[in-house]
Amino acid sequence: MQTVTLNDGKTIPQLGFGVFKVDPAETERIVTEALEVGYRHIDTAAIYRNEEGVGRAIAASGIPREELYITTKLWNDRQDDAQAAMAESLEKLGLDYVDLYLIHWPAPSNDKYVGAWESLIELRSQGLTKSIGLANFVVPYLERILKETDVVPAVDQIELHPAHQQPATVELARKNGVAIESWGPLGQAKYPLLEYPELTGPAAAHGKTAAQVVIRWHLQNGYIVFPKTNHKARMIENFEVFDFELSDSEMAAITALEREGMVGGDPHALH
């Protein structure tokens, strides 16, 4: 497993497993299977309502805590109550700390995200999280955090896939040493990404699937990525992406698919 070193000196597995929209009743089984496959980085959130299932899978796995990397997130209506929200997440996860805690959305109409970030800084100082970061903070909100506070986020987790690469946000983040995490890395099946010749061609050439080619594109771009699936066979497929490399021309062709094709929530509107 490849790792990325964050700006706080901590390392994070570059490939993880996401549980967005995973049924809480199925979460324990699905995360258990992911851990069996070899995933050690699990990305959840309070609003997913499946932290308990993640926690049960962790507890039953027998894997030493220090070998796991667990992320959860602060929901929008708790931005002025981060201490209590964190305590609730830790209780549900059955953990003493998480490895990464994120503000889930800027929710700009509430105008509480700068105060929430200051709360996350305090949570880190208390040892309740090893690293802190943001999710869905596009340029104006990331800029404000950078200008108005003294702690640079370790990561910014944004919607990112070949049709929606958010180059301005990626550029600002990288300029300031903020690692990019890709959510919805395969476009959430909301457009026929995996049918594009720019992907099917390299897939045939490398003896891989189009999905594996997309995940490889994320990895070679230096993004942290955590595809989500409920099926163990697909978990295995998504994990087998370290034994081939895309050429410069293949990478460029995939990057050229950019069309500002956002398929998820709008960071400017969600509150």
Report DSSP letters for 25-62, one per residue. Answer: HHHHHHHHHHHHHT--EEE--GGGT-HHHHHHHHHHH-
Mean of all residue pLDDT scores within the chain: 96
Write out pLDDT tens, residues 193-227: 999 999 999 999 999 999 999 999 999 999 999 99
Domain ranges of the chain: 3-255
Write out pLDDT tens, residues 149-191: 999 999 999 999 999 999 999 999 999 999 999 999 999 889 9
pLDDT of residue 147 exceeding 80: yes
Q: Tell me phi and psi for residue 127, to 5 degrees.
A: 80, 10
Q: Which amino acids are annotated catalytic?
A: 48
pLDDT classification of 1: cutoffs 50, 70, 90 = confident
What's the pLDDT at 238?
A: 96
Q: Which CATH code of 1.10.1370.20, 3.20.20.100, 3.30.300.30, 3.30.470.160 fits the domain covering 3-255?
A: 3.20.20.100
Write down the residue that tokens 């595809």 correspond to.
227
pLDDT of residue 39 exceeding 90: yes
Asked whether the CA dihedral 118, 169, 10, 151 is positive or negative, the reply is: negative
What's the pLDDT at 270?
A: 74
pLDDT of residue 271 exceeding 80: no
Write out pLDDT tens, residues 84-126: 999 999 999 999 999 999 999 999 999 999 999 999 999 999 9
Cα distance between residue 78 and residue 173, in whole Å: 25
Torsion of CA 28, 45, 267, 210, to 10 degrees: -30
What's the pLDDT at 10?
A: 98
- 0.85 surpassed by pTM: yes
250 sits in which H/E element: helix 248-255
What's the pLDDT at 22?
A: 87
Q: Tell me phi and psi for residue 126, to 5 degrees.
A: -80, -5
pLDDT classification of 80: cutoffs 50, 70, 90 = very high
pLDDT classification of 62: cutoffs 50, 70, 90 = very high
